[in-house]
Structure 1
């Protein structure tokens, strides 16, 4: 699998997520796009359309939904209620939905997000996880039938996660770093009384999965950001030393998808045979390996249904997730009906596999939950995530486009053109830079982006070299080259936008979060005349300090991260060269910085120092700090405040309109 350090996955409902230097000849499969796609251009607006503009509060009053863990029991044991998480109250809590979509709250937190994981197999107890103020120190709790919460993983610095259940329902698995902050050990918990025992003391590998019968443990280990391995532990063997099952030469990435329902086979990912991740099988007894799924794109995930009758798989087809449910008895794909044309995800089976719960996401409608009968595939929508006050016709469906970078490399991008844009009414534009490093901007609903587009800003979600989803050659093109050639891909995003009819070529800014925030600050320091404004959302500004302050629970990723970004002990000169903080005197264009006070990945001091240094040199800088957030936004009121801050800032410094703070923005953030 292609694995990179992920600074951020998902902020304001969009993946925002740090490869070998490109040679003269890039293989075709590095971009892997049909010729007609490479030549694709944006459909030019022919006339100005009228749309209603909505405040950020409405876009973020879209209700976010997510189903319980695929490794757990998402349907209750008796009445078939569905376990989910939702921010309907303004912050995520665990709930159940019945077959008519009626919601019953299980938790009622008003400060820390709570995420549903699994029902217990024989009663209505529920496993949930929660951290504190976005600090990512997650604990695992049991929500008892009387509504009280029992912390199964106490300890101020203990970070834990739910792994899954044994198929007899008597025990469940939890991993925690309580013994060693830099690694996770595996514990087996009794469903009856929560007594536990450590069943695997880890030496720094990543716990990937436990087989349904509890016999096998799959582990993964990154050697570099291009090379990784899979190990197996047989708990029935006398020697339980992890066994390497992916011995190889050269750089090949392997990752774990799932154990099959019969506990006889491991389904795993590998890019050994081409540019993209394929799904292969490994027989746990014989060691025989065989291909399972090959595609012209990455296989994103594969898993068995609990009985093994169905196989669920998905590919990442040019920034769109294409999911297939195969009935292994017939060999036919299950056809789901009565759903919109969009991305299907989070498929969860009920106890007898007669029904599935799942979600559907489109560019203009948030992730809604559905229930479908597997006999006929007919689906019923359970949720309505888009507020009635928003006319979906006012929202914009994205296009997949490509443009050439400085060296001729084709850069894929997701493009949103406001409906009110035309040759007679050109609009300002933004280059949106995803997080990661190695993330990907994909199609799908984003409240933040739709709010920007609704207010007249075109958005180009550029997937610069180093992005995932376009082959391993493309993926590794930014290794030890961050803030340089990948930044030029973003710079050339402006060049592309300047040639699109309906866009004002003199009003183009840059926006991004996490690694994308770093790219914003890097653009304003190393290419100070390119973009007219910048919005830096908790971006890295000092790579030396960031790499030295990696949270302890990321210990297993440190070597791979240093391989990609550089070791601060030996590469300090280059890391300082690409770090915006040390060049803040070059910032001349208006800059908005957003930061969470509890961020464990990009420390608040990163933003503090950049803001101070830029202001000392006369730059216009607005700074918004959220005291109750970490790396991203868990609270709706903060998402609203941030989105309004983006539009107010852009209206003032890019459109040139007076600043107007929406009355509904709210939030206890500190604005400097």
Structure 2
């Protein structure tokens, strides 16, 4: 077997969480990286120079960061060993001294969608299920006094959104159906009055952005009346929509300069991020700098809108902080996370479209080794399901590593994926293991018809929902004679999986997967455990012991079924991880072991 160090050559030197915050004076950028072995808050001058890490607890992993308006401290939230029971903290920007704001280790607190601090810096908005596990309320903390007010307790899974410019109102968002059914309201902090802005009975995606500077409306990303997500202004009194952009692809992020003049947004065109700009004072679109071909996130603007910042990844460059000068159009990388391997040896993915039996086509990205010999292929299924495989440095270099060893990777966006319209995304609601598995079946049939593919060496890898698809494929599509499969924290029994979800998530799970009380027979019929006796493929299962989304019992069940039959299955449990691995050593080991397992089964022995 090859050594773990080989995958390390392809792994980024630093990984980033999707979190960016520009200091109020525009001179320093805060982000979260794992340069210290765990995800911690770092601050770096926007002019360059080394970052300074403010948090240090190796048991805790930071997720979100925001500057206090006075520029002297930052907010962050963190969990312990991946348990996702996030607690809230303030950390001094100079000394790193930390103050805990919450002290409930069995409760999850979640920051506001926008900047959590009120404009004057006195109040902090967040959400938590501390009153009852079944509901997530909106809370506001008075920082000088420590007083906490429960400003919304109407039931549901409700989040704080964005503060109005005068600090008297707060948008709140009720996530009723994951990414496809949200309700936005405006809450008055003065009298507690709640005004619903989105129409009653309208099932659509609504993601609130910043307020307009005069407080008359809220920027919103919405699929109202469309299959794609557009950009609009939601009137803060009447709820009337005024459209700003309705491209054929999804608008995926929006940001407004601090002075309210420059609007920026990202359009996801077949996986690649395109930047658009507008001057709100004149209503005119502005010249748009060209981004590298790849995927961007966490769009951030300086106060005057002259500087645009984002996290950006390309197929051959890992995620880094990209800084764009709006006036000159020039771009520069503030951070320099890179693999040790030579990027010149990497391959660019090819966008392909595979026919499905019902007349649709399945979008996919193909990473193919530079050889004329038939090769093995790994079909890589993303998590979610409302996630999208994109042209970036996917899976921290795992794809490029496999290709370097002569194994191709095909990463499809089967139904359920983001980025191809609401109908495509919602096709798997209450149909996990249905149309998505049909799409995967069509993808594999297509591969077997290609002259460059060895049909006896096709394997699978998937994480979370992708792990469920992998387990479904090896148990329900055994005719493909899978050469190997890796399932990372994948649900194996949809009935027990649904019953195990946190109480505040159960309404959403019933919509997305099924109701365990009324759909038990259906959920069992679609569960890989029900069909486990048909599994013959070499299988490797990876699981975090503290996973609250896909509990360890899910992996235990499928492993036990196989071992009872005398079928060999490798099962690696990480005792100090949850659903999203936070420790760098664990992430490296898991990906390296998965890659070595796949390479061993999908390449022919050297003679």
- TM-score normalised according to structure 1 size: 0.83
Deviations 1:43-74 (A, max 9, x none): xxxxxxxxxx97111222431235745xxx52
Correspondence for 2:38 among 91, 116, 122:
91
Tell me the residue number matched to 2:250. 298
Q: CA deviation at 1:354?
A: 4.2
Which position in structure 1 is the counterpart of 2:286?
Answer: 333
Deviations 1:60-109 (A, max 9, x none): 2431235745xxx52254x8121111111222111111112321121223
How far apart are the structure 2 equivalents of 1:316 and 1:576?
36
Deviation at 1:399, TM superposition (A): 1.6
SS at match of 2:181: strand
- Rounded to whole Å, the distance in 1 between the matches of 2:166 and 2:404 is 51
On the 8 A contact 1:95/1:116 being kept in 2, the answer is no
User: Match for 1:169 among 121, 131, 135?
Assistant: 121
**Which stretch has the larger CA shift, 575-584 or 615-624?**
615-624
**Distance in 2 between residues matched to 1:126 and 1:227, nearest whole Å:** 32
Gap change, CA 1:138 and 1:428, over 3 Å in 2: same
Deviation at residue 140 of structure 1 after TM alignment: 0.9
Structure 2 residue corresponding to 1:159, chosen from 108, 111, 122: 108
Which whole-Å CA distance do the structure 1 matches of 2:31 and 2:56 have between them? 14
Distance in structure 2 (CA, Å) of the matches to 1:609 and 1:435: 20
Cα distance change of structure 1 residues 141 and 292 upon mapping to structure 2, 3 Å threshold: same
Question: Which of 509, 522, 526 is the matching residue for 2:472?
Answer: 522
For the residue of structure 1 that corresponds to 2:311, the secondary structure is strand
Larger CA deviation: 513-522 vs 469-478: 469-478
1:90–1:81 CA distance, 2 compared to 1 (3 A): same
Which deviates further from its counterpart, 534-543 or 608-617?
608-617
Structure 1 residue 265 displacement after superposition: 0.4
Describe the shift of the 1:194–1:394 C-alpha distance in structure 2 as closer, same or farther (beyond 3 A): farther
Residue aligning to 1:206? 158
More deviation in 476-485 or 509-518? 476-485
Match for residue 172 of structure 2? 219
Report whether the alignment pairs 1:108 with 2:56.
Answer: yes
CA distance in 2 between counterparts of 1:643 and 1:224 reads 32
Q: Which contiguous aligned blocks of 4+ residues in structure 1 show a shift greater than 6 angstroms?
A: none
- Counterpart pick for 2:442 among 460, 467, 492: 492
Q: CA deviation at 1:151?
A: 0.9
The answer (yes or no) to whether the contact 1:323–1:343 under 8 Å persists in 2 is no
- Sort the Cα spacing of 1:234 and 1:567 in 2 relative to 1 into closer, same or farther, 3 A: closer
Matches within 5 A, 1:10-409: 55-66=6-17, 68-69=19-20, 74-75=22-23, 77=25, 80-98=27-45, 99-115=47-63, 117-144=65-92, 145-163=94-112, 164-192=116-144, 194-210=146-162, 211-223=164-176, 228-235=181-188, 238=191, 240=193, 242-249=194-201, 251-329=203-281, 331-336=284-289, 340-387=292-339, 389-409=340-360
- The alpha-carbon distance between structure 1 residues 201 and 542, as it changes in their structure 2 partners (threshold 3 A), is same
- CA-to-partner distance for each residue in 1:148-200, whole Å, 9 max, x for gaps? 22110111212112222222233232222222223333333344454443333
Q: Tell which deviates more after alignment, 444-453 or 352-361.
A: 352-361
The size of the alignment, in residue pairs, is 593
User: Are 2:403 and 1:456 aligned?
Assistant: no
SS of aligned partner of 2:130: coil
Note the residue ranges of structure 2 that are not aligned, 5 or more in a row. none
3-state DSSP class of the match of 1:522?
A: helix
Matches of 2:215 and 2:262, distance apart in 1 = 15
Output the aligned Cα RMSD.
Answer: 2.5
User: Which structure has the higher relative contact order (CA within 8 Å, separation 6+)?
Assistant: 1
TM-score by length of 2: 0.91
Q: Deviations over 1:95-133 (max 9, x none)?
A: 111112321121223332224512222242221211010
- Cα distance change, pair 398–101 in 1 and its aligned pair in 2 (3 A): farther
2:318 is paired with a residue whose SS is coil
Cα distance in 2, alignment partners of residues 314 and 495 from structure 1: 35
Q: Are the aligned partners of 1:93 and 1:116 in contact in 2 as well (CA < 8 Å)?
A: no
The DSSP-based 3-state class of the residue aligned with 1:431 is: strand
Q: 1:532 matched to which residue of 2?
A: 483
1:198/1:476 CA distance change after superposition, 3 Å: closer
Aligned to 1:648: 596
Where 2:131 maps in the other structure, the secondary structure is: coil
Distance 1:591 1:311, change over 3 A: same
* 211-220 vs 502-511, which moves further: 211-220
**What's the secondary structure of 2:560's corresponding residue?**
helix
Distance 2:349 2:584 in 1: 24
Q: Who is 2:379 aligned against?
A: 431
- Asked if 1:551 is matched to 2:502, the reply is yes
Distance (Å, rounded) in 2 between the aligned partners of 1:185 and 1:248? 21
Shift of the 450–261 alpha-carbon distance from structure 1 to 2, 3 Å rule, reads: farther
1:409–1:355 distance in 2 versus 1, CA, 3 Å: closer
Q: CA offset at residue 411 of structure 1?
A: 0.8
Larger strand share, 1 or 2 = 2
Cα distance in 1, alignment partners of residues 95 and 146 from structure 2? 17
Cα 1:606–1:343 change in 2 (3 A) is closer
After TM superposition, give the deviation of residue 508 of structure 1 in Å.
0.5
Residue in 2 that maps onto 1:608: 556
Query: How has the CA–CA distance of structure 1 residues 552 and 327 changed in structure 2, closer, same or farther, with 3 Å as cutoff?
Result: same
Q: Match of 2:582, SS?
A: coil
Separation in 1, partners of 2:222, 2:309: 29
Report the secondary structure of 2:550's partner residue.
coil
8 A contact 2:320–2:335 mirrored in 1: yes
Matched position secondary structure for 1:607: helix
- CA distances 1:577-613 after superposition (whole Å, capped 9, x unpaired): 1111122111111111111111111111111121121
SS of equivalent residue, structure 1 residue 647: helix
* 1: CA distance, partners of 2:211 / 2:412: 35
Q: CA deviation at 1:351?
A: 4.4
Rounded to whole Å, the distance in 2 between the matches of 1:103 and 1:227 is: 38
